[in-house]
Amino acid sequence: DLITTYQINVDGRSVRRRFAGGLLGHWAIWTQQAVRLLGECHRSMRDPGMLPELLIRNGEVTDCNAVIFDPAHGFAGCIPAILEILRRQGLVQTNLCLDPAEVLSEGQARELDRICQSYPHLVDDRFVEAHRDEWLR
C-alpha cells in the first residue's frame, strides 16, 4: 500500500522504505482518482493528520481491487471487469475478450455495481463523461 513504511534487511542492516509511485493495476481504470489519491498519500508524509482518512481509503481501494481483479476466482474476471468499467463509461463498446471463455465471474457485475455505488469518490465517471467525446475523436 502507499502509506505503509516497510522495514527490510539489506546487507545485514535494517532499512525503511515506502512506495514512491502508484500500484499499476489500480491505474487501469479511474485514473484521475488514482492520481488524486497518490497525491494525498505523498502529502500525508508531511501531514500525519491525513493518515486516519487514508486508512479508510485503503480499505475501500482494497475492496474495489478485490472486485475488479477477481482474486477469489484466480483473477479469471480481471480483464473483463476492466473492460466492463470502460464500457460503462462509454470508452469501449464491449467487455468481450479475444478468448470467449474469458468473461466476468459469477456475481462480478453485481459487485462492480456495489463498489461504484459505495465509493463514488474513487470512480472517474464524471471526469470521463466530460472528456470522452474529445478523447474518442
- pLDDT (tens digit per residue) in 74-86: 999 999 999 999 9
Classify residue 59: in a domain, yes or no.
Answer: yes
- What pLDDT sits at residue 27? 81
Classify residue 47: in a domain, yes or no.
Answer: yes
Into how many domains does the chain fold? 1
**What predicted TM-score, i.e. pTM, was given to this entire model?**
0.87
- What pLDDT sits at residue 18? 82
Average pLDDT on 58-70 reads: 94
**Cβ contacts of 38 within 8 Å, gap of 6 or more:** 2, 21, 22
Classify residue 63: in a domain, yes or no.
Answer: yes
Question: What average pLDDT does the structure give for the chain?
Answer: 92
Residue 26 pLDDT class (50, 70, 90 cuts): confident
Average pLDDT on 51-55 reads: 91
Q: Which domain holds residue 58?
A: 6-135
Classify residue 1: in a domain, yes or no.
Answer: no
Classify residue 37: in a domain, yes or no.
Answer: yes
116 close to 108: Cβ distance less than 8 angstroms = no
Residue 3 pLDDT class (50, 70, 90 cuts): confident
- What pLDDT sits at residue 5? 86
Whether residue 33 has pLDDT greater than 90: yes
Whether residue 97 has pLDDT greater than 80: yes
Average pLDDT on 41-47 reads: 89
Classify residue 122: in a domain, yes or no.
Answer: yes
Classify residue 10: in a domain, yes or no.
Answer: yes
Classify residue 34: in a domain, yes or no.
Answer: yes
Alpha helices for the chain (secondary structure H): 31-43, 51-69, 78-88, 108-118, 125-135
Please report how the helices 108-118 and 78-88 are oriented relative to each other, as an axis angle in degrees rounded to 10. Answer: 50
